């Protein structure tokens, strides 16, 4: 009973609901992937529990080592891709293969990097802390972008901005950074891979090449629109079952969900995501410590960008990026990572219930 009392059900219950919903859809659209996904689902629940019970002070004290390990992991991924071209998939070196499992380091490093960035921002005063945080952020961002993994780079940037914002960076400084970033976009275009440029152009002109570059987006929109209120039924979706919808078990699982289970199930999924995001804000607002506020702000932004971008690209309102839908998309790396971050937030929430809080910033 003690465990049940300390669990933050406003975080745990919606996450489990989304896992079940994702498992149902995955068992329909990709039966071969479901057994492995079930293993990761079980592991995700264990990860959530463990991270919710570990004292966040311990995690912060280890954040420096975790940061260094994260950079080494990213570097090793790039080296493996260079030495063994066979591990490069679709032009990207993002995975480390351990037997039957493919692990994605750019996913696993997210909790570690958020811990370290929040620690840096909270450990000093004045603008120096923001420059130090930026100096810590850039190596990780560059290594992820070199894989190339634009989706993870976007998510990592969102988490970093969340930490800066809730860490006390003045709004005028954030506005200035946004202006500089906007001015840099024309130059950034030159560094994008051809397929990334094509995704952006396809978003701007989705019907220009409906059988080529625009195919994925159009098929996703057809799937979302054809589900009706209660869907065609599991195993009955034309786009999902006849392989018109690409990556229906990962990037486009929201479209598959909408087609087979309908608008009602899609709305319930979005409601579950809203509960998680709202609960994160509630926990954040109850904190008196900048360190915990920064970490929770980073976690909130990571979840928000995952949800907004994935749902947006499934509905054709955002360009296609390889950002999975938390707890729903197939992919063990993402599932374990999101469970770890939500577990950390649940652990901070339980500290509020017991009356304890972090008073010393550890570096």
* pLDDT attached to residue 251: 87
DSSP characters for 265-334? HHHHHHHHHHHHHHHHHHHHHT---HHHHHHHHHHHHHHHHHHHHHHHHHTTSS-----PPTTTSS-HHH
- Cα 185 to Cα 27, 157, 175: the distances in Å are 41, 15, 16
Tokens encoding 359 = 């008073």
> Taking a C-beta distance cutoff of 8 angstroms, is the pair 284, 297 a contact?
yes
Q: What is the CA radius of gyration of the chain?
A: 20
* pLDDT attached to residue 207: 65
Residues in the chain with pLDDT < 70?
1-5, 81, 84-94, 98-101, 181, 184-185, 188-189, 191, 193, 195, 203-213, 353-363
Token match 């000093």: residue?
124
- Cα 47 to Cα 73, 100, 168, 331, 332: the distances in Å are 20, 20, 30, 15, 12
Measured distance CA(333)–CA(71) in Å, rounded: 17
Measured distance CA(245)–CA(255) in Å, rounded: 8
* pLDDT attached to residue 123: 80
* pLDDT attached to residue 359: 41
* pLDDT attached to residue 88: 54
- Cα 289 to Cα 35, 119, 295, 335: the distances in Å are 42, 12, 10, 29
* pLDDT attached to residue 318: 86
Largest separation between any pair of C-alpha atoms in the chain:
59
* pLDDT attached to residue 286: 92
* pLDDT attached to residue 2: 54
> Taking a C-beta distance cutoff of 8 angstroms, is the pair 260, 28 a contact?
yes
* pLDDT attached to residue 302: 97
Sign of CA dihedral 261, 266, 271, 272: positive
Instruction: Read off the pTM.
Output: 0.90
Phi, psi of 280 (to 5 degrees): -60, -40
* pLDDT attached to residue 357: 47
CB burial of residue 239 (10 Å; 0-12, 13-18, 19+): buried
C-alpha closest to that of 31 among 244, 235, 258, 265: 235
Measured distance CA(105)–CA(52) in Å, rounded: 22
Summarised one tens digit per residue, pLDDT across range 104-149 is 888 889 999 999 999 999 887 777 888 888 899 999 999 998 887 8
């Amino acid at each position: 009973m003690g465990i049940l009392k300390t669990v933050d059900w406003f975080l745990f219950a919606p996450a489990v609901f989304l896992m079940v919903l994702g498992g149902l859809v995955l068992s329909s659209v990709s039966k071969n992937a479901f057994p492995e996904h079930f293993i990761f689902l079980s592991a995700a629940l264990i990860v959530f529990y463990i991270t919710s019970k570990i004292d966040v002070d311990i995690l912060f004290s280890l954040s420096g080592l975790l940061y260094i390990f994260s950079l080494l992991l990213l570097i090793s991924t790039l080296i493996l891709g260079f030495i063994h071209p066979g591990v490069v998939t679709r032009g990207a070196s993002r995975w480390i293969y351990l037997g039957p499992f493919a692990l994605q380091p750019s996913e696993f490093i997210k909790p570690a990097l958020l811990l370290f960035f929040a620690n840096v921002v909270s450990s000093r005063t004045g603008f120096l802390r923001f420059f130090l945080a930026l100096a810590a952020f850039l190596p990780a961002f560059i290594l992820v972008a070199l894989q190339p993994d634009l989706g993870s780079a976007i998510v990592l940037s969102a988490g970093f901005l969340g930490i800066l914002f809730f860490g006390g960076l003045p709004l005028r400084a954030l506005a200035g950074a946004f202006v500089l970033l906007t001015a840099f976009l024309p130059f950034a275009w030159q560094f994008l891979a051809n397929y990334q440029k094509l995704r952006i152009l396809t978003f701007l002109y989705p019907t220009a090449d409906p059988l080529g570059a625009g195919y994925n987006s159009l098929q996703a929109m057809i799937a979302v629109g054809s589900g009706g209120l209660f869907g065609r039924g599991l195993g009955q979706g034309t786009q999902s079952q006849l392989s018109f919808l690409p990556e229906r078990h990962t990037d486009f699982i929201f479209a598959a969900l909408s087609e087979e289970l309908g608008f009602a199930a899609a709305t319930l999924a979005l409601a579950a995501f809203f509960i998680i995001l709202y609960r994160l804000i509630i926990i954040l607002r109850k904190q008196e410590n900048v360190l915990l506020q920064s970490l929770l702000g980073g976690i909130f932004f990571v979840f928000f960008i995952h949800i907004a971008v994935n749902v947006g690209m499934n509905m054709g309102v955002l360009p296609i990026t390889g950002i999975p839908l938390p707890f729903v998309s197939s992919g063990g790396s993402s599932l374990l990572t999101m469970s770890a971050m939500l577990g950390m937030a649940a652990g901070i929430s339980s500290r509020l219930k017991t009356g304890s809080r972090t008073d010393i910033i550890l570096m």
